[in-house]
Structure 1
Amino acid sequence: MVATAGLSDCGVEETLAAMDRWFATQEMLVVHPRPEGPVLGSGAAATQYAGFNAEKGRVQWRRVEDDQVAFDVARQLGRDMVELLERLGA
């Protein structure tokens, strides 16, 4: 599962949780990323939020494609999916 949002901590985590519950209801196996090292996020969720510029008094935006943490978590998710498939003998 991958989700995107404009801001960090503004609903994307609950979106992932709702998707997780739906997949569980459909009896699907959900793989969650298990990061190597410190936890980077609660799931593969990218945001456009780049920070707050106190000098200008406004939010700074970026392209979702520039959210490096989200792409690192997504890559870890891919590795974990492959590992699970290998363990299941698929």
Structure 2
Amino acid sequence: MKNLMLALAVLTLTSANVYAEEVVEDALMEAPSDYVLSLLQSCTDYAADDEIEAKDMNKYLLSCINTELEEGYYQLISSLPKEEM
């Protein structure tokens, strides 16, 4: 009986933790477009420094931008932003 109670307690705590993480992810704000564009420029500069090949550029830039967004607690993006003309 003690094992059952312990298992239920662990399950309850685990479920609460998973729910809390989902709520936090849903609460992330979308980053302002000018901020995302500034990240694009910074990441483009990093790519040049790292000598990233053209065929790998989009993947590199998207990963770089999303890393910065994640550190700033913003929603991640699924495609690169278009630069304003």
TM-score, with length taken from structure 2: 0.30
Rg larger in structure: 2
From the two aligned structures, give the one with the greater helix fraction. 2
From the two aligned structures, give the one with the greater strand fraction. 1
